[in-house]
Amino acid sequence: MQALRTAATGMAAQQLNVEVISNNIANMNTVGFKRQSAVFEDLLYQTYEAPGSQSSDSGNIVPTGVQIGAGVKAGSVYRITGQGTLTNTGNALDMAVNGPGYFQVLLPSGETAYTRAGNFSANDQGQIVTADGYLVQPTIALPANTTNITISQTGQVQATVGNATAPTVVGQMQLATFLNDAGLDAVGNNLFMESAGSGPATAGNPGNPGFGVVMQGYTEASNVDPVTEITNLIIAQRAYEMNSKVVTTADQMLSTAVSTKT
Amino acid sequence: MDNTVYVGLSRQMILERELDITSNNLANVDTTGFKFESMISNDDSVTMPTPGIAPAAVHFVADAGVARDFTQGSLVQTNAPLDVAVDGKGFFTINTAAGPRYTRDGRFKLDSGGRIVTQDGDPVDGGGDIVLDPTKGGVTIAPNGIISQQGQNVGKISVVTFDSLAALSKDGNNQYRNDSNLTPTPAANAQVRQGFLESSNVEPVRQITRLIEIERAYDAVANMMSSTQDLSDSAIQRLGAVNPS
């Protein structure tokens, strides 16, 4: 019976759905996390009678045909890139992007990664780095004896050194945007890589048309909404149960067929 | 007498096929733009020559077709700029390598050339490819399908329909194929909704109820077949007994 295998694809799909939801819930408090959603597609159809085929010698036409589907598969797990709420941290090097755009991070491999997690700090040479110690691009080094750091909404970084009264400009933050940021490739540690689906990165200063602004002293919270996730979890569990009912029904019908001959 | 078993068998075969369809509906309870299906069965009467008595028609059960219910599925908000749903009767046209395909699944993205494509990378039709300019940012899609960036019209997403939707065959991947000689015409009563996806129109309660009905009908036919068997068993016992009572 095809029904048994079809129901199994349904159960596997809902299992994937629960895995995606559980990852969202686990990252409810991850800085800059964007929730994901699984989307499904139907599998191939087996055609028993094609629409428009003849059903009798006198030329009767089957109007709709008989096509039976083989179940469901995961089409894509895609990222919903809505803005997360901004949380005030008071830390001078914490930055959040309000609007579109990603911070650029230089990986040890030499590649550029992109992130919305702006919980930055300074390393031993005064350079601005991520929580993992990777350099934020373009590299900005704070002078020794810096007493105060100001980052404007347009990304200009100013430092007050020692007893100086006026701050000096030490660098300019840049953001990268993508045509389709839902197509970015997540590599863990809140980092994303450019992919064929996202399109190439366009770098620009914060506040330019199409770019968000940088908020100093804030980080962007995860955009996971617990109520939505729990609701989705309930729906996924019920859908799993319904598919298991199909397995039970198919099994009982097979058992009936076997016991017809006593 | 044997006909009873064969008529029952024809019904059971159709019921198994109906179970396959119902299980496909339930497996696709969460599939974007999915339309549920049900089996249409009809009477397949055959007149067999029976020696001694007047010929009578034997009514077998045959499958006439699969009906597809094109009722609108509910629209779910995703806020993604390239997620679009059709509100009303209509389909997006996808230009695949194997020819045009029609879909109500509007999870689109951009490829590296800026074209609007499906998740599988096939271009979405707008009287040709729809190409966006990556540097211009925000994309707005109006209910009439017009796509604009920074207030400038950059293309129009095609929404088409057919005189008879029964002519479409399902092709998997949420797409339909047109094998008939009908030509797609622009949909008059459909609107495009940006930031929404159409969910599956499967109603779980109806499908679960259908599961129960199928199982009970299958049992009933099995009972009928075993009663027939009992009948022939007792006939053989009585007629074959040495001293019939």
Q: What is the mean pLDDT of each run of 10 residues along chain B (245 residues)?
A: 83 92 93 91 78 78 85 87 91 93 90 84 90 77 90 90 86 88 88 92 92 93 90 89 69
Query: Which pLDDT score, from 0 to 100, does residue A52 have?
Result: 66
A116/A131 same-domain check: yes
In this complex, is the C-beta atom of A245 within 8 Å of any C-beta atom belonging to chain B? yes
Percent share of chain B, pLDDT over 70: 97
Do residue A34 and residue A71 come from a single domain?
Answer: yes
- Whether residues A73 and A97 fall in one domain: no
Residue A75 and residue B30: Cβ atoms within 8 Å?
A: no
Q: What chain B residue is nearest to A13 in terms of C-alpha separation?
A: B27
Say whether residue B23 is in contact with chain A using an 8 A CB cutoff: yes
**Would you tell me which residues 105-124 of chain B have a C-beta closer than 8 angstroms to some C-beta of chain A?**
105, 107, 109-112, 114, 119
Q: Do A242 and B204 touch (CB under 8 A)?
A: yes
Identify the CA nearest to A170 among candidates A156, A152, A188. Answer: A156
Low-confidence ranges of chain A (pLDDT < 50): none
Model ipTM? 0.76
Could you tell me if A19 and A100 lie in one domain? no
**Structurally, how many domains does chain A consist of?**
2
Mutation target vs A (from B14, B20, B164, B207; most A CBs, 10 A cutoff): B20
pLDDT, position A62: 62
Q: Would you list the DSSP string of B126-185?
A: SSSB-B--GGG--EEE-TTSEEEETTEEEEE--EEE-S-GGGEEEEETTEEEE-SS---E
> What is the rounded CA–CA span in Å between residue B135 and residue B125?
22
Residues of B in contact with A3 (CB under 8 A): 16, 19-20, 22-23
Q: Are residues A31 and A51 in the same domain?
A: yes
- Sort strands A66-69 and A45-49 into parallel, antiparallel or unpaired: antiparallel
Asked if the Cβ–Cβ distance from B19 to A180 is below 8 Å, we say no
Q: From the list B82, B119, B134, which residue is nearest A75 (CB)?
A: B119
* B positions 40-59 inside 8 Å of A (CB): 40
Residue type, B93: T
Q: Are residues A121 and A203 in the same domain?
A: yes
- Dihedral, CA atoms, B194, B192, B101, A49, nearest 10 degrees? 120
A207, A123: one domain? yes
pLDDT at position B245: 55
Domain residues for A23?
2-81+224-259
Check whether residue A246 and residue A181 sit in a common domain: no
Query: What is the spatial distance between Cα A20 and Cα B210, in angstroms, rounded to a whole number?
Result: 30
Same domain, residue pair A101 and A209: yes
CB neighbour burial string for B65-104, b if at least 16 within 10 angstroms, e if fewer = bbebeeeebeeeebebbbbbbbbebbbbbbbbeeebbbbb
Q: Apex CA B233: angle with CA B232 and CA B237, to 5°?
A: 115
A113 and A209 co-located in one domain: yes
**pLDDT for the residue numbered B53:** 75
Interface subset of A 147-176, CB within 8 angstroms of B? none
Out of B28, B67, B82, whose CB is closest to A72?
Answer: B28
pLDDT, residue B21, reads 93
With a threshold of 0.90, does the pTM exceed it?
A: no
Chain B residue at shortest CA distance from A211: B137
Chain B residue with CA closest to A55: the answer is: B64
Same domain, A146 and A232: no
Q: Indicate if A187 and A252 belong to the same structural domain.
A: no
